[in-house]
Amino acid sequence: MEELKNSFPFEIRNVEGTDNKELSKYFLGAGNFNIQVGPKKYLLMSDYKGDADNIYNMPLRQDDIFVVTYPRSGTTWTQELVWLLASGLDYSTAVKVPLSSRSIFLEFPMLMHQNIVEHLMKEHAEKPENLKTFQLMRTPGSEQVARMPSPRFIRTHLPLSLLPPTLLDSTKVVYVARDPRDVAVSYYHLSSEFKSYNFNGDFKTYWSLFVRDLVYWSPFFEHLKEAWEMRHHPNMMFLFYEELLQDLPTTVQRVADFLGKEYTADQIKELCTHLKFENFKKNPSVGIDNLKEYGMMAPKGEFIRKGKSGGWRDYFDDEMTREAQRWIDNNLHNTDIQFPTVQ
C-alpha cells in the first residue's frame, strides 16, 4: 500500500520590494534568489522550492539521527560528536571520511544557485571532474539522503516546521542553540567569505539585517522557539552551544545517554580530547578545504573560527549592545529560555 503523502502546507513567496533590494545589494552571491516560506517567513534561497515538498515528505528510518541548528550554532562540532558516539567511537573512519560525507547537509543544494554555478562553470571549464562534482552538489538533498545507508546522519538548518511532521515520533533529533549575538558575528564572517552569499557590507549592516530577519534561515527566534517547545519530547535533545563550551565531558555524557550508548569514563575523556577546540580546528576531516579548492570559499576564510562564547562584545558598540538586549528581551518575553553564560 502506498504511503499517504502530506501536501506541503506552507505558501512560498518571492521576497519583493525594499527587502529584496537590500538582500540583492548586500548578498551579491545570491542576487535575487530570495524566498520566504510560511507565516513565519523563513528566508531561504529559491532553489529550496524544488525540494520543499520532498523534504517535508521524506521517508524516515527509525535509526536516523538529525542535527538541527540555526546556522553558526555549533553544527559541525555537534555533528562530529553525535557521529562518533553513535558509531562506536570509530576514529579511523572519522579521520578518513569527511564529515560532509558522513552527515549529509539536507538543503545544501539550494546554496548551489544559478549565480554560483555559472561562476564555477567558468572558473573550472577545463576541469571536467570538478564540473561533475558541482552537478552532484546540486542533487536535491532528499535524493541524497534516500541513497544513504543506515544509520543515516542528517544535518539541517531548516526549522522543525519545514521538516517531516513525524520527525520526532520517528527519529532522534539533537537541536543546538547559541546566543544570537555570537551567532551573528560568526555568520557575518561566513557570509563574507562564502561565495554563495558573498556579503559585501560591514558587521553593523549585517546585524541590522539579522535583527530584521533578513539573513538566510531567519527568523532566529522562531527557529529557536519551535525546538524549545518540543524539548521535553523523548526523541528531542535540546542543547546550548554554551553547555558544550562550559562542561564538555558532562554534555558529551548526556548526548551518549540520549543516544542509548554506554562508554567508560576514559572513552569519554578521549572523545573530549578529540573534540577539544584546538584539536578540532586542525582536523581536516571536519573542515571545508575542498570548497576553497573549488573557489566557493575565500582562500583565507575560516569555517571553524574561534569556538568561544561572548566574542560578540568585540563587535558591538554601546548602542548596538543596548539594541541587542532589547531585541532579545522582547523576543524571549513570556518564555523561560535563557542563554547560559560561560565563565
CA angle, corner 230, sides to 106 and 43, nearest 5?
45
CB neighbour list of residue 154: distance below 8 Å, 6 or more residues apart: 64, 65, 66, 67, 103, 104, 106, 145
Give strand pairing partners of 143.
none
**Mean pLDDT across the stretch 46-64?**
96
Q: Which residue has the higher pLDDT, 163 or 278?
A: 163
Whether the pLDDT of residue 60 is over 60: the answer is yes
How many CA atoms, within 13 angstroms, populate the side-chain half-sphere of residue 231?
Answer: 12
CB 79 within 8 A of CB 94: no
Domains and CATH numbers, the chain: 52-332 (3.40.50.300)
Quote the CA–CA distance of 80 and 82 in Å, as a whole number: 6
State pLDDT tens for residues 161-207: 999 999 999 999 999 999 999 999 999 999 998 888 999 999 999 99
Quote the CA–CA distance of 24 and 4 in Å, as a whole number: 39
State pLDDT tens for residues 95-150: 999 998 999 999 999 998 888 888 788 888 878 787 777 778 889 999 999 999 99
SS3 state of residue 301: coil
Q: pTM score, two decimals?
A: 0.92
How sure is the predictor about 4, in pLDDT bands with cuts at 50, 70 and 90? very low
| Residue 74 cell numbers, joined | 555549533
Alpha helices in 1-42 (DSSP H): 17-26
| Residue 106 cell numbers, joined | 539536507
Q: Which residue has the cell 519551535?
A: 226
